[in-house]
Structure 1
Amino acid sequence: MKWTLQSLSLEQKVGQLFICGFDDIEANEHARALVEQHQVGGIIYFRRNVRSLSQLSALSDSLQELAAAGDQPPLFIAIDQEGGMVARIDQDGVSRVPGSMALGASGREEDAYIAAQICARELRSVGVNMNFAPCLDVNNNPRNPVIGVRSFGEDPEAVARLGCAVIRGYQEEAVSATAKHFPGHGDTSVDSHLGRASVPHDRERLNRVELVPFAQAIREGVDAIMTAHVSFPAIEDSGYPATLSRPVLTGLLREEMGFQGLIVTDCLEMHAISKQYGVAEGAVLAILAGADCVLVSHTYAEQDAAIRAVVEAVRSGRIPESRIDASVERILALKQRQIKQREQLPLSASGVPQEEVQQLLYAIAGRSLTLVKDEGQLPIRKDVDTLVIWPELRQATQVDEAWSKSYTLGDALKDYGVPVRELRISTDMTDEEVAQVVQDADGYKQIIAVTYTAESRLPHGQQQLVNKLASLQRGSLVVLASRNPYDIEFLEGIKTYLCSYENTPPLMQAAAAALIGKLKPKGKLPVALGEEYPLAHSS
């Protein structure tokens, strides 16, 4: 690799520390300014950047060509393709691999490894070389609004074991894994996109729970670790969130835990940073704390201001240039390793035929689907008119994708010959909508209510709807939790309850097969659902 620390100017070195995003499906003026003017080290993709796989591949090529034309190091091209409910690429030809909690319910390292390997090969085929995954947060707070099914579960050892299998699956395919959100975002009740969360536990508890998966990932050789915009008073008593804390990033992660890879911030435009410190000052503080890569995902004005602020902080002596140099050396070393590894791997969207990939994913889905309880209602009857209530997420968030197309449970049951009427509802129902669905359900002897109700949405419409149906129902009512498994804690009178952890096609196919008795669910709860349904429970 011809780029060395000595060959780069201060501005070029600072640029290498930034990973930035833009809003277009081609290299527009914003993207060109990032690469040509600021010489950023990386680009992050979101759904806004994706129209088709051929388009995305061409975009990656064009961005790398811009960097090469400016005699720059190659770009990190990053994405949040976690699987399950967080997948920025959903075009035909891309596999809907299971998310973390579905893999946690399966409990098999082989399933986690295979899913990650499939994902990595497909990412590499469109030019993506860094995945901001897996989440190594231990989700032990049912009211967590931002992690939930993005976690493998509440057992630190299981999170560590499965997370490391995912890391191997990515990195053996030349896609850098990024373990997140250090030191752990699982035991929080605030979404750091919107505000500041705090984990108040002492060091003994952090060592025993939150830090276990990250320690194992470091031993596994994970390429990067992403920081959490979360305060940890047991480590940093100033009130700084981990992203801005030198005791957390340098003292704990670098020196105490011995991590030698890249420390990447979560996006500094998230309100936990931007509202209190500002993006530019946040970038300076993060680098002073020990971060190697600063993520600013959206706004050019913020990106420009942050890069200029870091350059000025070095010139004024606030940031020692040696602090910048240490990060650049790590960045260039990883880019060099990526180049060498990719040269040794064939470029293909999958190592196995697509039909076989889908069979693998369906098998994993069957091992993930969890039957929590059944009081004699399964299998359902295939000769009875069946009402399926399907909640649609109609507005996307950073952790919930509003899919433009979906394969529903109703679709899957119809494929098995079940006479189905499907009512599509909003995840956030009004009282009037609840009353209408209850009226529409009158007369059906077989109802399957799918829920998509993160705790932050309760006690709103979906809870009211299911509880009312349960109180009125004279036939059978089956509930399928298609995201967070905790929904049962807020429902009453439920006789049959399954958890799929996501509403992706493989899980819906498996759920339909289980409902008609064609498949036996093999998953075990990766989180406890109160005292009645403990960790690892299955019916």
Structure 2
Amino acid sequence: MSTLTSNALAVLQPSFAGTEPPAWVLRLLGEGLTGVGLFGRNVQNPEQVARLTETLRAERPEVLVAMDEEGGDVTRLEVRQGSSFPGNLALGAVDDPELTLRVARELGRRLAACGVNMNWAPSADVNSNPDNPVIGVRSFGAEPELVARHTAAYIRGLHEAGVVGCTKHFPGHGDTATDSHHAMPRIDLSLEALRERELVPFKAAIAAGTKVVMSAHILLPALDEELPATLSPAVLSGLLRRPVADGGLGFDGVVSTDAMEMQAIAGTHGMQRGAVLAIAAGADALCIGHNADDDLVCGLRDALVAAVRAGELSEERLADAAARVRALAEWTRTSAAAGPVAPDEEIGLAAARRAVRVTGGEDYVPPSGPVYVASFTPVANMAAGEATPWGVGPELQRLLPGTRTGSYGPESGLAEATTDAGDLPLVAVVKDVHRHGWMAAALKALLADRPDAAVVEMGVPQAPPAGALHIATHGAARVCGRAAAEVITGATTG
């Protein structure tokens, strides 16, 4: 295996299907592959993940094993039951950086216990556009300084647990109305505006010692009129890498791309050409989030090798990228040797309880028996996926036996929920009601018929509070559902 081929493998970070590593992954680890990514499809339980990562390390002891474990709405370790940790918006609502550090440290501790040593988190995006379809509750909030202090705390918490944090999505995905999983978002902001808002959290993360920054597949004409940030030398080698004295951010760690199969890259340049352009632009690690197999990964490896031999990609640039990835992998071995941190197992629920905001309810009487939970369900965020359950139904069923639930979408009749509820007290659960006209109309019709209903908003609480009791959880994690259910039932939250 040549050094050139080994370097091409080192910059790839593919995922795979199944709960055991396939033979092609183990073979490529022996040939130079330095990182892999795990998703919900790779997870049964923590013990199984630990066995999986042990198998990977038998082939390459220093392998980087990454997981997209943001907590909140985006969880992989708890994809089938919902997260034990609230997401960023809930932490931003509390605005206690020490709490954020503790949440990140405990989350990192659980990742490390499974052999996962890199987390593609936190999202440092300022959620300046409330109609954003892909960030939303994944952001700490809409204020740059708030996002900055919590991003820095989150990075420190992960690092204390020996897990690499990855600050994303550079230079900021918050002011978009397009999901880059599906198409190319465009942000028409001046460089001055970027510096005043989007870049503030990334500067804080770099100051806090973040070792990885993930690029966004977004077009910023103020910096590059043709290429998205992931493929743009002006964004990666210029703005991100350039010394602070010369107007850059001075980042010297690993630059990771967002998933290369997303349509903003794959649908415009193709994955192989995109891989070459990304490394040439200054990226070091190429995330391949879905649909990876032996042919795809070897095709990307060969495309990088061919680009070097054709003079389209500097051999020195590829070697530099590979060296950065290998150095990061070695850091994880050193941090793991320091030993695990102490458990802080209840911190997620404590944080979720602190994030709850209640409006109204002066005349609200907690139900003494079962209720009906009507959940108005939008299309799932691509980052979160369809598999993760959300809502307050399971927690209310636990606290109020006999509680029934129903799920309603855009095609549901506006009167269905009240009809299905019958004589039971009604709880309406919504998510980003301000972004979905059908949901707002359904909620309005429900409250016209049942003004005594309680409303739980589990997304961004942008719309005015409504209902006899309005509960904003700032996220849809399992613990957020539990915190809301405790308010509805008047349960003790000690």
Partners in 1 of 2:332 and 2:27 — Cα distance?
Answer: 25
* 1:482 corresponds to 2:458: yes
Contact 1:20 1:40 in 2 (8 A): no
Q: Deviations over 1:147-206 (max 9, x none)?
A: 000000001001010111110010111110000000000000000000000110111110
Q: 1:440 aligns with which of 420, 429, 443?
A: 420
Partners in 1 of 2:282 and 2:250 — Cα distance?
Answer: 13
Aligned to 1:208: 196
Aligned to 1:45: 38
Shift of 1:66: 2.0
* 1:451 corresponds to 2:430: yes
Contact 2:90 2:473 in 1 (8 A): yes
Shift of 1:503: 2.8
SS in 1 for 2:437: coil
Q: 1:466 aligns with which of 443, 446, 471?
A: 443
The 1:322–1:429 alpha-carbon spacing in structure 2 relative to 1, beyond 3 Å, is same
Q: Which amino acid aligns with 1:26?
A: E
Aligned to 1:234: 222
Q: Deviations over 1:96-137 (max 9, x none)?
A: 111101111111111111111111111111111110000000
Aligned to 2:412: 431
* 1:67 corresponds to 2:67: no
Q: Deviations over 1:202-254 (max 9, x none)?
A: 111100000000011111110100000001111113x2100000000001000
Shift of 1:370: 1.5
* 1:224 corresponds to 2:212: yes
Structure 2 unaligned regions, length at least 5: 243-247
Aligned to 1:124: 112
Q: 1:316 aligns with which of 310, 315, 321?
A: 310
Shift of 1:390: 3.3
Q: Which amino acid aligns with 1:222?
A: T
Q: Which amino acid aligns with 1:390?
A: S
Q: Which amino acid aligns with 1:166?
A: Y
Contact 1:87 1:401 in 2 (8 A): no
SS in 2 for 1:169: helix
Partners in 2 of 1:454 and 1:129 — Cα distance?
Answer: 36
SS in 2 for 1:97: coil
Aligned to 2:470: 497
Q: Which amino acid aligns with 1:59?
A: L
Partners in 2 of 1:22 and 1:123 — Cα distance?
Answer: 18
Further displaced range: 199-208 or 130-139:
199-208
Q: Deviations over 1:438-466 (max 9, x none)?
A: 3123444x32111134666x222x33321
Structure 1 unaligned regions, length at least 5: 1-6, 69-73, 521-539
Partners in 2 of 1:99 and 1:485 — Cα distance?
Answer: 14
Partners in 2 of 1:95 and 1:443 — Cα distance?
Answer: 32
Partners in 2 of 1:257 and 1:304 — Cα distance?
Answer: 34
Partners in 2 of 1:450 and 1:205 — Cα distance?
Answer: 36
Partners in 1 of 2:361 and 2:152 — Cα distance?
Answer: 38
SS in 2 for 1:480: strand
Contact 1:481 1:498 in 2 (8 A): yes
Give the number of aligned pairs: 487
Contact 2:432 2:461 in 1 (8 A): no
Partners in 1 of 2:80 and 2:106 — Cα distance?
Answer: 15
Task: Write the mapping of 1:342-361 to structure 2, written as runs, cut at 5 A.
Answer: 342-346=336-340, 351-352=342-343, 357-358=345-346, 360-361=347-348
* 1:133 corresponds to 2:105: no
Contact 1:296 1:302 in 2 (8 A): no
Contact 1:134 1:163 in 2 (8 A): yes
Partners in 1 of 2:311 and 2:403 — Cα distance?
Answer: 68
Further displaced range: 328-337 or 128-137:
328-337
Contact 2:353 2:480 in 1 (8 A): yes
Shift of 1:75: 1.4
SS in 2 for 1:485: coil
Task: Write the mapping of 1:28-427 to structure 2, written as runs, cut at 5 A.
Answer: 28-37=22-31, 39-67=32-60, 74-90=62-78, 96-237=84-225, 239-255=226-242, 256-297=248-289, 298-300=291-293, 301-346=295-340, 351-352=342-343, 357-358=345-346, 360-371=347-358, 373-374=359-360, 376-378=362-364, 380-383=365-368, 386-391=371-376, 397-403=382-388, 409-416=392-399, 418=400, 421-426=403-408
Partners in 2 of 1:385 and 1:253 — Cα distance?
Answer: 55
Shift of 1:402: 2.1
Partners in 1 of 2:86 and 2:288 — Cα distance?
Answer: 28
Partners in 1 of 2:114 and 2:151 — Cα distance?
Answer: 24
Task: Write the mapping of 1:507-522 to structure 2, written as runs, cut at 5 A.
Answer: 507-517=480-490
Aligned to 2:245: none
Shift of 1:424: 2.2
The 1:513–1:321 alpha-carbon spacing in structure 2 relative to 1, beyond 3 Å, is same
Shift of 1:396: 7.5
The 1:33–1:453 alpha-carbon spacing in structure 2 relative to 1, beyond 3 Å, is farther
Q: Which amino acid aligns with 2:475?
A: E
SS in 2 for 1:83: coil
Shift of 1:415: 4.6
Q: Which amino acid aligns with 1:452?
A: K
Cα RMSD (Å) of the superposition? Answer: 2.6
SS in 2 for 1:43: strand
SS in 2 for 1:272: helix
The 1:30–1:332 alpha-carbon spacing in structure 2 relative to 1, beyond 3 Å, is closer
The 1:294–1:455 alpha-carbon spacing in structure 2 relative to 1, beyond 3 Å, is farther
Percent identical pairs in the alignment equals 32
